[in-house]
Chain A
């Protein structure tokens, strides 16, 4: 998300020097480590333990092959992520750039899934190689899509977002139908640092050293990138040469980390920010301090995690960094200067329709056809069936509620997505960034822990309550800034990180609720009953009819905050109202089909691409586009791999993602 949260030159929010910060964290981590290690082997016997490990007793074995490599890998992984994050943020000039932004993590994950499921021999040549290959391919896809836009940082991030979504959907489907591998992948995704030897350390260390040397050599050209593409070019720097090298180093390094220990959230994102908050301004300083900072941070986090046992196990380190880091981001927010409004990433319509409502009514016709198909055409053990009027009961019983739910959720997400994109002036925005769907998921996750054998009623209650709670938190956090889009986005990112980490941990540790969580989070309409479908339809209808109330605001807000204010708009009130409306709509959709963000992102773009630009027709067209996508996805999801079913949300991302990428590629 293109938000400038980096402090400007004179801001030094943390009143500690980077050196002191690193030293104190490393010192604390060392203290914890020594405590842990002496519990295993007394200090006096450490040399013996190290030299005699192979023939020795169990404690010295654990000492040498489990604890020491764990400390080493935590430092190495943290340093590598800090370095990679700094490089990425410098090259992309985007403070929210991190390994996941570029599809590195999801690319690596998908490569591992494919290798595991279909070509296990590939793993014999090293899991790491497979993961790095996948990460590089995904990153290459991101760059290829964004290439025609002169690799501008914003189009890169946007392409990364969509590639992530698509790859995530593919591995989601693959794993959903090979769920014996499920926990393995989620373990790996939740970032556990348990070690059983030195192989990962020996794998990561040389790569980190190489990357560090290369990035030091690149310091000068990279520093010039701060001037922006034109500025750097005018100083004789050929961006075309250095950017790919720097990106390659960062991608390969973070892919190595992902391959070695899995996904460690937040370190790559936070370390560069924290380092510059601590006063390391120049790139060279940051390149030196970020690895030190990242290393000591992850070391400390990993030691802290080991102090607290949860049952018999401990919190995965990746989950812990997310849980600790995300609130930190929120705490640091007030100290960060509110930079100028983020530049809008928009798909400026190449053409503009003179009669938008004609396009809207044509869209309506397409939606009608999709509805007819979804209701009437299905499969059964004999093959294809077309339900006639006599089968009305069957259709109403099995398809009616699902189709109505898909229709309503698509409408709600299309409306909410349009509102958020117009309000924030950011085409990357989707209902998910408000943190509402994340909040709703948090409720579902909490429910699976507290009340494993829950029913639909308690699920609805829990998701509604937590969606409401996250709305309140979100509004409270951003109230002082008149609900500025940046604040909203950051709050949403923070909440989303926490939710992703928690759900990965829960899914990884198993239990009967995990498949429910998985299918709920992938946007399945399977469990929808008539009650919930009708409730969602009511919310959708009300929202649709209420949307004209917001049209004028949504027309004026893209003009920017000062213009809107000078036209007499009460910015705080308008944004607050829109945020609340979006939250209610998103919550309504999330409760029915789970935290699905793709439709909310894509439907407004579709409407714009057709050539609709005024707020009211844009809202209506996005609602139609959203519901058409959802209805089609639900229908095809029931047909494609019958009798198995692909959740509508996953399918929408699976088909919509590539479409969106092609659209970007052509347009950029």
Chain B
């Protein structure tokens, strides 16, 4: 861990923070819901985790975020075993946004963002000028300056999601783990939030691992897509490798047509007549 810190301090950015997952599996009630999975996530880029319902993508993300312990296998972050890191040190490196953010009645946006500094000052440390600066920076970057003094629970879904992202930004981590951050948003807000995520990743040279349901969004905003199927790693590669009818059939179990957009993007649609009968269960 000290290695990474010193590298970061020396160069301003951590050159290649990465997760290395080796033979990780997860059993719940005797049933294997994940793995064994081995893969490496290299930074700094945006990784999309996709797969059918129950493919284990959220579980994998939770294991990466140390929210859940794997039953077997090991995970290294920057060459250090995940369970050997102190929880605050880990939180300075990796930030996680749960799928469902709590309601937090009465909490102001600026207070929420300031919580992002917890890994740095801890339960008793002083909230110093450095913390203040990072919070202001995060607020500015996520474009929520207009409602810093409003209560989080009075905001719309897209605004709220941006506030939570601001908290993660203030956390100043090298890697963001986002669990379906656009699940409850309309298409405009989906684009808004994912653009923000991508902008952040590029501006700060950090890695992002984001669980997404929508393959088209993943293709558009991710540098690399990791596809899981029934708890196993199915494919890993750039959008152009994943966005083929063949691999999409393997991922989702239905026939899909892939279109190339003029700007260079991809779009996939189920073929007319595809019934979804082959969908994985």
Footprint of B on A, CB under 8 Å?
10, 344, 346, 348-349, 352, 425, 549-550, 552-553, 555-556, 558-560, 562-563, 565-570, 574, 608, 613-614
- Residue contact A552 to B105, C-beta cutoff 8 Å: no
CB neighbours (8 Å) of B203 from chain A are none
Question: Does B59 count as interface, using CB distance less than 8 angstroms?
Answer: no
- Residue contact B98 to A563, C-beta cutoff 8 Å: yes
CB neighbours (8 Å) of A552 from chain B are 118, 121-124
Q: How far is the CA of A569 from the CA of B104 in the complex (A)?
A: 17
Q: How far is the CA of A651 from the CA of B16 in the complex (A)?
A: 65
Report A43 CB to chain B, min CB distance, Å.
49
Report A241 CB to chain B, min CB distance, Å.
30
Could you say which of B6-14, B83-91, B213-221 contacts chain A? B83-91
Report A158 CB to chain B, min CB distance, Å.
15
Q: List 6 A-B contacts (CB under 8 A).
A: A552-B121, A555-B115, A565-B96, A567-B91, A569-B123, A613-B106
CB neighbours (8 Å) of B62 from chain A are 562
Q: Known: A352-B151, A553-B123, A555-B115. Contact between A566 and B98, CB under 8 A?
A: yes
- Residue contact A565 to B87, C-beta cutoff 8 Å: yes
Q: How far is the CA of A393 from the CA of B117 in the complex (A)?
A: 54
- Residue contact A566 to B96, C-beta cutoff 8 Å: yes
Q: Known: A563-B101, A566-B96. Contact between A556 and B115, CB under 8 A?
A: yes
CB neighbours (8 Å) of B103 from chain A are 344
- Residue contact B67 to A558, C-beta cutoff 8 Å: no
Footprint of A on B, CB under 8 Å?
29, 62, 65-67, 87-92, 94-98, 100-108, 111-112, 115-116, 118-119, 121-124, 151, 153, 171, 177
- Residue contact B67 to A562, C-beta cutoff 8 Å: yes
Q: How far is the CA of A559 from the CA of B104 in the complex (A)?
A: 6
Report A640 CB to chain B, min CB distance, Å.
36
Q: Known: A567-B171, A568-B91. Contact between A560 and B102, CB under 8 A?
A: yes
Point out the residue from A352, A549, A553, A562 that lies within 8 Å of B106, measured CB to CB.
A352
- Residue contact A567 to B118, C-beta cutoff 8 Å: yes
Report A618 CB to chain B, min CB distance, Å.
10
CB neighbours (8 Å) of A566 from chain B are 65, 67, 91, 94-98, 177
CB neighbours (8 Å) of B111 from chain A are 555, 614
- Looking at A562, A566, A613, A614, the one whose CB has the most chain B CB atoms below 10 A away is A566
- Looking at A425, A556, A558, the one whose CB has the most chain B CB atoms below 10 A away is A558
- Residue contact B87 to A349, C-beta cutoff 8 Å: no
Q: Known: A352-B106, A560-B98. Contact between A568 and B115, CB under 8 A?
A: no
CB neighbours (8 Å) of B87 from chain A are 565, 568-570
Q: How far is the CA of A566 from the CA of B101 in the complex (A)?
A: 12
Closest B residue to A555 using CB positions: B115
- Looking at B62, B118, B122, B153, the one whose CB has the most chain A CB atoms below 10 A away is B118
Report B208 CB to chain A, min CB distance, Å.
14
Task: Give the number of residue pairs across the A-B interface with Cβ within 8 Å.
Answer: 87
- Residue contact A568 to B101, C-beta cutoff 8 Å: no
CB neighbours (8 Å) of A560 from chain B are 98, 100-102
Report A577 CB to chain B, min CB distance, Å.
9
- Residue contact B102 to A567, C-beta cutoff 8 Å: no
- Residue contact B119 to A567, C-beta cutoff 8 Å: yes
- Residue contact A348 to B98, C-beta cutoff 8 Å: no
- Looking at A550, A559, A574, the one whose CB has the most chain B CB atoms below 10 A away is A559
CB neighbours (8 Å) of A608 from chain B are 106
- Residue contact B67 to A565, C-beta cutoff 8 Å: yes
Q: How far is the CA of A555 from the CA of B29 in the complex (A)?
A: 34
CB neighbours (8 Å) of B124 from chain A are 549, 552
Q: How far is the CA of A488 from the CA of B186 in the complex (A)?
A: 39
Q: How far is the CA of A495 from the CA of B202 in the complex (A)?
A: 55
Closest A residue to B179 using CB positions: A562
Report B202 CB to chain A, min CB distance, Å.
22
Q: How far is the CA of A155 from the CA of B102 in the complex (A)?
A: 19
- Residue contact A349 to B115, C-beta cutoff 8 Å: no
Report A472 CB to chain B, min CB distance, Å.
24
- Residue contact B116 to A349, C-beta cutoff 8 Å: no
- Residue contact A348 to B67, C-beta cutoff 8 Å: no
Q: Known: A352-B151, A613-B107. Contact between A549 and B102, CB under 8 A?
A: no
- Residue contact A556 to B66, C-beta cutoff 8 Å: no
Q: How far is the CA of A123 from the CA of B94 in the complex (A)?
A: 69
Q: How far is the CA of A214 from the CA of B244 in the complex (A)?
A: 59
Q: How far is the CA of A556 from the CA of B96 in the complex (A)?
A: 14
Q: How far is the CA of A558 from the CA of B96 in the complex (A)?
A: 16
- Residue contact A563 to B102, C-beta cutoff 8 Å: yes
Nearest 3 interchain pairs by C-beta: A568-B91, A348-B105, A566-B96
Closest B residue to A341 using CB positions: B102
Closest A residue to B95 using CB positions: A566
CB neighbours (8 Å) of B91 from chain A are 566-569
CB neighbours (8 Å) of B65 from chain A are 562, 565-566
CB neighbours (8 Å) of B100 from chain A are 560
Q: Known: A558-B102, A568-B88, A614-B111. Contact between A549 and B123, CB under 8 A?
A: yes
- Looking at B62, B92, B119, B153, the one whose CB has the most chain A CB atoms below 10 A away is B119
Closest A residue to B31 using CB positions: A10
